[in-house]
A and B are shown apart, each in its own frame.
Chain A
Amino acid sequence: MWPNIQYYCPCLSSANALTPPPPILASSSASFHSLHNLYFCEECDAVRCNRCVSVEVSGYYCPNCLFEVPSASVRAEKNRCARNCFSCPICRATLSVVASDPPDDGTGRPITPLNNVGEGPYLLYCNYCRWDSTEVGITFEKPTGLAGTRWLVHFVSNAYIRVVAIDLSSTAQLQKYEDSAPESLEFERLKEHFEPFLRTSSLSSSTHLLPPTSHHLHTSSATAAASAALSRDIPGISKYNPLSRSRSGRDRTANKDEMAEYKSRVEVGLFGQLGSGGDDADVELLRCTETVGEIAKLEQRWGNSWITSLRMSELRPLRIPLHSKVSKRCPACRHILIKPEQKAQSVRYKIKLAAANYLPALSVGFPQTQAAKRALGKGVEPRNVGVMLAGITNNTFRVALTNPLYDPIQVRLSPQRVTDGRGFQVSLPLTPFSIGAFAEAWEYDDDEDMFGVEDDELGLEVGRGSRDKDARGRTKNVGVLERRANVTVVGGEVNVHRSYRGQVKFNMLVSYTYRSDDPLPSEDGAGTPSRAVVKTPEVKTFSFYTVVDLGPVLSKDDSESR
C-alpha cells in the first residue's frame, strides 16, 4: 500500500552497518516496519523490532473464561481450556451450556412457566448456528464445571470414539472409552518407550553443556538456554560432524545397544482401524457423498488436535485453545521492552517502551495535484494507479511529522540519492526544521499555544523552506508548509526521468535533536554509534532510517489515455 513510510531496524544487517539495504531489493522489506510495531530500548538507545526481540511467555489463559492456567497444567490439559469452554464444530462460536426444553403445548410455548435453572440433561448449544451437542450424542447431567464436564473434556480431546450416547454419570465407563482411543494408547506407549532415553540424555547433556556459540556479546541467559537445548544430543541421532565420521558411527552402534526396538500397538497395514477409519473409509465416504455440505470444511477441521472425521455431521465440539501473554526483551541488554499485566482480564501493560513514544511519527501523502484530480475526475482512485508522472520534474508529495516528546525537536531529513541517472531525484528541505512539543489536549487553553511555536527554542538554526515563493508568485512545493501544535508538514518534489518505470521508493535518514534530561553518558560511543553529543550537554541527536514509498510511476501517455 502506498504512499507510506516505514522505519528501519538494523538487526538484519551485518557488522552493525546502519545503512539499510536499497529499497528496490525485494528482500529489504524484511528490515522495515511500521512505527507502531517497533520498540525502543532506552538502555541501548536503539530501535528494536519484533524480529530481534526475545520473547518470553508470561502466562497462559483461556480467552473465553479468562482463567489463568498455571504453566504446569498447560501441557497436561493439552493447551486447551479444561473448564466449561468449547467452540462450535460448525462455526467456531463459543458454545453455551443449556438445559433441555421442557414439554410444550405444541406451539412452542411451555406448558408450565420456566424456572431459571432448567432441567437436565444439559447440552452444549451454539447460539449462532444452532448446532447442539446432542447431534453427536453428547449430553450431561450437570450444567457447571463439575466432574461430568471434566470427563466430557477428556472425551472431546480424544474425539474419535465411535459412540452415540454417553452416560456421564458413569465415569468408569468414560475412562474406558478414553483409554481405548487407539492414537492415545499409541502416544502413551511411545512416551513410555522413550522415557528412559530422555532421562539419561538430559543427565548427560547437563554434565557437558556446550559453551554459547552466539556471536552476541550480551546473549541473554534465556537465549543461551534455548540454544543449548537446540544443540543437545538427541538419542539415536548423532550430531553431524564432518571431521570424525568414524566417531559418529560408533555413536550409532552405542545407541543401538541402549535402545530397544519399538513395536507399535497396531501393525502398519492396519492403520485403517484408527480414528475415523483411515484412508479407505475416507475414499468410500467421498464416493458416496451427494452434496459438498456433507464434508467438513478445512477450517472446521484444522483446529483439531487429532484426526477427525471428514463428515460434517460427526464433528465434535472443541475445547477452546489457550492464549498466552508474552513479554519482550531487548536482545542486547535484556531489559524488558514490553510486559503485560499478569491478570488475564487486564489489557494494560506494566512496561511499554513503544518506539512511537520516542521517534517522531512520519506520514506521507499527496496534495491535490493535477494528476490526482485528473484520476479522480475519471472515477479512478489515484491510490490504485499511481500519481508520480514520468518526465515531470515537480511531482509533489508531503511528509507530516508528529513529535511525541514534551519538548520541541529539530529534525533534519536526508533522502538517500538514487545513483542511477535515469531514475528519479528527490528534493526535500535539507536544513533542520522544528516541530512543536507534544501537549495533552487539556493543556491548550486557548489558540495561542496552537500556533506560536518558538522556532529557536533550542538555540539552533531553524530551517526555512528552500524557496518560500519564487518571483512569479508560484506557491512553494519544497520546504516547511505548515506548523500546528506538534505537527510540521514539509513538502517535497520528485523529478522522475522520462524513461523511468517502477516504484518511487527511497531510503531517508531522519535525525532529530532533542533536549535530554539525562546527564552526559560516559565515553562509550562504540556501542551507540547513532548518538552524538551536539553543542550543549543537554541536547542529543538520534538518527534513524526510513523508507518512503510514493508508489508506481505512470508514463504521461498512460495518464492521458485514461
Chain B
Amino acid sequence: MPPIRDKFAIHSKAVVCQDVDLKGDITIGPGTVVHPKAAIFALVGPIVIGAGCIIEEAVIIVNRRKDIMRIGDNNLFEIGCRVECPSIGDFNTISTRARVHNTVRMTNHCVVGAQCLVVPAEDETLGEYTCIYGPAADRRIWSGRGQVQEADLRMKHAEYLREMLPKFNRLRRSDGT
C-alpha cells in the first residue's frame, strides 16, 4: 500500500478544530463542524463531507475502500461513534458509541441508536427513515413525524456550535491558506 498522502480541503465556512486527527484526502463542506479529538481517516479512497454536518468528540470516520466515501448534508455524528459507511445521505443521526460497518450504506433520515452495532456481513442499504434502536439493534421505520422540527433543531445546533467552538478552540484551515 502506498503511503497516504494528506490533502485537506476545508471550506472557509466550516469549523474544524485544530486538535482533530485527519489522514488522507479529505474534503469538508461549508458549515460543517468538527469537534476536537475527532478522527477522520481516508485510508484508501478520499472522504467528502457535505454541508452542515456535526461531528462530535471522539468520532471516528474511516474509508477503507478505493471509492470516494460521500457523506451528505446535515448529518449528526454523536460522541464516540464509529462510521465506515461507503455512502451517507442527508439528515442522518448516528448516536453515541454506535458503530456502523463498511457494508452499510445509509440513505436519508436514518437513526442509529446509542451503542447500536450495525455490522451486517453482506452489503446492505438502509432505506429512508430506518431507525435502529435498542440492545439488539432492532429496526423500525420512522413515520417522519417531527422531522421538520428535528431538521430545524439540527441547523440551530450547528449554528450555535459554529459560533461557540472558535471561542475556545484553534481552528484548522485548508492546506492552501
Contact = CB atoms under 8 A, between A and B. Distances in A.
B140 A123 contact: no
A110 B152 contact: yes
Contact of A132 (B109, B129, B143, B152): B143
Interface residues of B, number: 20
Given A91-B133, A108-B91, A114-B152, A129 B147 contact: no
Interface in B88-132: 91, 109, 111, 113-114, 129, 131
Interface string B124-159: 000001010110001010110111110110000000
Interface in A384-398: none
- Chain A CB within 10 Å, residue with most, of B138, B147, B148, B151: B148
- Chain A CB within 10 Å, residue with most, of B91, B111, B147, B152: B152
Contacts of A123: 145
A452 B47 CA distance: 62
Nearest to A104: B148
A132 B149 contact: no
Q: How large is the interface on A (under 10, 10 to 19, 20 to 34, 35 or more residues)?
A: 20 to 34
A101 B147 contact: yes
Nearest to A131: B140
Interface in A101-149: 101-102, 104, 108-110, 114, 118, 123, 125, 128-132, 134-135
Contacts of B129: 130
Contacts of A99: 149
A98 B113 CA distance: 20
Contacts, number: 59
A98 B133 CA distance: 20
B140 A130 contact: yes
A129 B134 contact: yes
A118 B146 contact: no
A193 B11 CA distance: 77
Nearest to B155: A109
A104 B145 CA distance: 12
Nearest to A88: B133
- Chain B CB within 10 Å, residue with most, of A99, A128, A130, A131: A130
A38 interface: no
Contact of B148 (A102, A130, A131): A102
Contacts of A98: 146, 149
Contacts of A104: 148
A100 interface: yes
B143 A130 contact: yes
Contacts of A118: 149
A118 B145 CA distance: 14
Contact of A130 (B131, B151, B152): B131
A90 interface: yes
Contact of B151 (A91, A109, A128, A132): A109
Nearest to B111: A130
A101 B140 contact: no
Contacts of B134: 91, 129
B146 A132 contact: yes
A130 B142 CA distance: 6
Nearest to B151: A108
Interface in A61-104: 90-91, 98-102, 104
Nearest to B152: A114
A526 B111 CA distance: 67
A129 B146 contact: no
B147 A90 contact: no
Contacts of B143: 130, 132, 134-135
B145 A129 contact: no
Nearest to A299: B134
Contacts of B146: 98, 101, 125, 130, 132
- Chain B CB within 10 Å, residue with most, of A98, A108, A134, A135: A108
A132 B141 CA distance: 12
Nearest to A297: B138
Given A128-B113, A129-B131, A110 B148 contact: yes
A114 B149 contact: yes
Contacts of A102: 148-149
In the complex, the 6 A-B pairs of residues with the closest C-beta atoms, listed nearest first: A130-B142, A129-B133, A101-B148, A130-B131, A108-B151, A104-B148
Given A91-B138, A132-B146, 4 more contacts: A109-B152, A110-B148, A132-B143, A134-B143
12 contacts: A90-B133, A91-B138, A98-B146, A102-B149, A109-B151, A109-B152, A114-B148, A114-B152, A125-B145, A128-B133, A129-B131, A132-B146
